[in-house]
Amino acid sequence: MMNNSKVSIVTIVYNDATGIRKTIESVLNQTLAVDEYVVIDGGSKDGTKEIIEEYKDDINYFISEPDAGIYDAMNKGWKLCKKENYILFCNSSDFLESDAIKAFSIYAQSNQEQSDIYHGMLKFLKNQKLLYIQGRTSEMLKTCMIEHPASFVKKRVFEQLSGFDLHYKSASDYDFMLRAQQAGFKFSFFENIINNFDTSGISSSSNRGQLESLHIKNKYGLLSTHEYKLRTFAAKISNSIKRAIR
């Protein structure tokens, strides 16, 4: 069975003139070309917009305007993508492996039954140095997030779930994947490295993300209210100590 495995890539950026070029070029230099490229800029003032415009002939949609945060921008992005495509987010400062799209396409075409979400592996970097490589199966969603920057999601999943919940500022992708799982969408994990994610400078957002993830687990019955309160209290104390000793 031949599956449509065309890919739309969405890049979200705000004031990242030092990182956006590498991201764009990693998308444009794929060994198998992407079908569509969308760039959403939050109204950058540091020269980011001018760099993006250098590549305007290779970008299908480019929007530069203020937004209500990264998930608002991501919602804008997927809505612009072709209805039949899979959508991969490669946000500014991240960069794709050169054969990412080809690896996905080969795997998706080999599947007898089409999946709604294909998710691969992710390199975690700090200051461009490799920390580790990670890939999690969807069965692990009950305890932790799978690698969203390495996930190809059919547009109809976003449409049916109304995209990302803007109540969350750091963990809305986790909420989205859990909703997709509970709605019965089919996940498939494949062992190819897709994206490179730089963790530099995300300590404050990771602290918020930890608290939001606990709230999400409680919301979906993965944590009891008692355990949720205990773990939230412990996380807040730990974060306070970390801030105090910096």
Q: What does the pLDDT profile of the chain (246 residues) look like in tens digits?
A: 345 689 999 999 999 999 999 999 999 999 999 999 999 999 999 999 999 999 999 999 999 999 999 999 999 999 999 999 999 999 999 999 999 999 999 999 998 789 999 999 999 998 889 999 999 999 889 888 899 999 999 999 999 999 999 999 999 999 999 999 999 999 999 999 999 998 875 544 678 888 999 999 999 999 889 988 898 888 788 777 766 665
Strands 86-89 and 7-13: parallel
Every domain of the chain and the residues it spans: 7-200, 203-246
H helices within 2-124, ranges in order? 20-28, 48-53, 70-80, 100-110
**7-200, CATH topology level:** Spore Coat Polysaccharide Biosynthesis Protein SpsA; Chain A (3.90.550)
CB atoms within 10 A of CB 144: 11
What is residue 201's predicted lDDT score, i.e. its pLDDT? 59
pTM of the model: 0.92
- The answer to whether 27 and 58 have CB atoms below 8 angstroms apart is no
Dihedral sign computed on CA atoms, order 19, 62, 52, 66: negative
What is residue 213's predicted lDDT score, i.e. its pLDDT? 93
Alpha carbons within 13 angstroms on the beta-carbon side of residue 176 total 28
Tokens of 187: 């996940």
Q: In the chain, count H helices and then E strands.
A: 8, 9
Q: Which residue has the tokens 């992005």?
A: 77
